[in-house]
């Protein structure tokens, strides 16, 4: 198996890694560059826990071939907070008790960020649609939906970071 060099930016930092043929992006992020914020849930694109943004668009990193992100700009939950200051979405998730075990939270945050970045004033249906690819086992979704709507009201979507 040959290795391919791949360069991309992750949360604003340049990364250069060698990837195997067919290696998925989630594996490269977690094991290759050490960003553990995207989670490995099902490994087949059903649970959404591995969601990251590629050029601002939500993607399932477990189903994305790592070599396809050459030259692209990636964001993960690991880059949301600015130092000690939480991203408005993270803050809203905390205030609305939108995490219990926390395993889906990373994917939920990225799905929500992708929504708010393109639609700063979403309806409840827009929010439901945006997180419909993400499974949560604990919260019953309601606190997550409320957190995202609240973050939108507080201008999370108009923030550039």
Partner 1 sequence: MSIHKGRGFATINYPIGMNLGGDPSQALVHSNPDGKFGVALSSIDLGQGMKQVTRQIAAETLGVPVEDVYVDTADSDTGPHCMGSFASRGTHRVGNAVIQAAKEARSVMLEAAAEELEVNAADLETDGKGNIFVRGAPSRSISTGEACGAAQFKQGKTVSGRGIFLIPLSDVDPETGEMTPVSCYAHAALVVDIEVDDETGEVDVKQMNSAYEVGRALNPRMVEQQLVGGAWMGMSHALWETTEPYYPERTHGPADFNQYLMPGPGDIAPHDIAILERPAPDGPYGGKGPGEMCANPVLPAVANAVFNAVGVRIDELPITPEKVLRGIKANGGARPQGQR
Residues that bind partner 1 (CB under 8 A): 42, 44, 46-47, 97, 99-102, 127-129, 131-132, 135-145
Q: For the chain, how big is the Rg over CA atoms in Å?
A: 15
**Tokens standing for 138?**
């604990």
Nearest residue (CB) to partner 1, 10 versus 112: 112
Nearest residue (CB) to partner 1, 42 versus 81: 42
Neighbours of 145 (CB within 10 A): 19
CB of 11 to partner 1, least distance (A): 26
CB of 89 to partner 1, least distance (A): 16
From CA 161, how far away is CA 78, in angstroms rounded?
12
Coil, strand or helix at 130: helix
Nearest residue (CB) to partner 1, 5 versus 140: 140
Nearest residue (CB) to partner 1, 19 versus 49: 49
CB of 140 to partner 1, least distance (A): 3
CB of 31 to partner 1, least distance (A): 23
Residue of 51, 62, 30 lying closest to 104 (CA atoms)? 51
**Do 89 and 112 contact (CB within 8 A), yes or no?**
yes
Which run of H or E residues covers position 113?
Answer: helix 105-118
């Amino acid at each position: 198996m040959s290795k391919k060099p791949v360069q991309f930016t992750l949360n604003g930092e340049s990364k250069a890694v060698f990837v195997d043929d067919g290696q998925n992006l989630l594996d490269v992020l977690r094991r290759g560059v050490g960003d553990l914020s995207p989670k490995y849930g099902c490994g087949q694109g059903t649970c959404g826990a591995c969601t990251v943004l590629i050029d601002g668009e939500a993607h399932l990193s477990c189903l994305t071939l790592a070599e396809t992100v050459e030259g692209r700009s990636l964001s993960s939950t690991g880059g949301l907070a600015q130092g000690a200051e939480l991203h408005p979405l993270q803050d809203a998730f905390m205030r609305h008790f939108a995490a219990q075990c926390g395993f889906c939270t990373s994917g939920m945050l990225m799905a929500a960020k992708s929504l708010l970045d393109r639609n700063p004033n979403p309806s409840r249906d827009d929010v439901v649609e945006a997180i419909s690819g993400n499974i949560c086992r604990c919260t019953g979704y309601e606190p997550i939906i409320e957190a995202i709507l609240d973050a939108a009201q507080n201008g999370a979507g108009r923030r550039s970071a």
